[in-house]
């Protein structure tokens, strides 16, 4: 693909950058003074225009930043591991949230943006409640093992996941009781760190 190769082999044009720094500073002052909305600038920058010098300058700056990051990513093994681990966590949460939103196969059929955002927020709320429940129960189980003299290694805990679903019945009967009183207290020891656990 010659076109793609030429695009990635060209040098970043730094020449437009100094000429628009002053202009960008002026627009920043205008936005700070409330005379121009940030969304207006983003809308202008979001529409491609060869005649928009500010857009061209930020485009070239973005190419430089992405190039610098890609070079770091290729040459730094630890950075790749950190990014991969973060991506795995994010993907696992998304899978868990999708498992929670099993009704209608998780499809959002509303065309209204506000209703779509509500569905997503409610889905994440339920998912986070289940994650809290899982962590709470796993931590109590760890305390019970330690109290029985079982050695729990930190390496073992690192492999635990709050996204377990085998014990959750999505098709059960759930009752909402607004009159139910919240627990007076939660055992503080349940949420101690691993290092504290090993000292018990």
For residue range 4-37, list pLDDT tens digits in order.
455 556 676 666 666 666 777 777 788 888 887 8
The sign of the dihedral angle between the CA atoms of 23, 28, 31, 32 is negative
**36 occurs within a structural domain:** yes
Instruction: From 162, 159, 161, 100, select the one nearest 131 (Cα to Cα).
Output: 162
190 SS3 class: helix
Domain boundary among 75, 96, 117: 75
Domain count, the chain: 2
**133 occurs within a structural domain:** yes
Token representation of residue 61: 């700056």
Question: Which residue range(s) make up the domain with 40?
Answer: 2-75
Our CA dihedral for 115, 119, 121, 126, rounded to 10 degrees, sits at 150
**87 occurs within a structural domain:** no
**99 occurs within a structural domain:** no
Domain boundary among 17, 51, 75: 75
Domain boundary among 55, 75, 95: 75
Give yes or no for a contact between 133 and 164, defined as CB atoms under 8 angstroms apart: no
Reported as half-sphere exposure (CB side, CA atoms, 13 A), residue 99 has a value of 17
- pLDDT tens sequence across 77-120: 999 999 998 898 889 999 999 898 877 666 777 788 888 888 88
């Amino acid at each position: 693909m010659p076109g793609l190769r030429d695009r990635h082999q060209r040098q970043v044009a730094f020449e437009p950058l100094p000429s628009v720094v002053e202009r960008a500073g002026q627009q920043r002052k205008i936005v700070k003074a409330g005379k121009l909305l940030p969304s207006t600038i983003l809308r202008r920058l979001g529409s491609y225009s060869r005649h928009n010098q500010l857009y061209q300058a930020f485009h070239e700056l973005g190419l430089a930043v992405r190039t610098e990051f890609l070079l770091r990513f290729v040459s730094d093994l630890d950075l790749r591991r950190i990014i991969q681990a973060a991506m795995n966590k994010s993907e696992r949460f998304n899978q868990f949230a999708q498992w929670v939103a099993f009704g209608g196969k998780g499809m959002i059929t509303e065309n209204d943006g506000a209703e779509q955002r509500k569905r997503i927020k409610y889905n994440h709320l339920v998912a986070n409640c289940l994650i809290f429940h899982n962590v709470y129960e796993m931590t109590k189980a760890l305390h019970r093992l330690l109290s029985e003299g079982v050695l729990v290694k930190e390496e073992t805990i690192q492999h635990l996941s709050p996204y377990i679903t085998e014990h959750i019945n999505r098709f059960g009967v759930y009752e909402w009781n607004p009159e139910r009183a919240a627990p007076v207290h939660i055992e503080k020891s349940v949420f101690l760190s691993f290092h504290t656990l090993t000292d018990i």
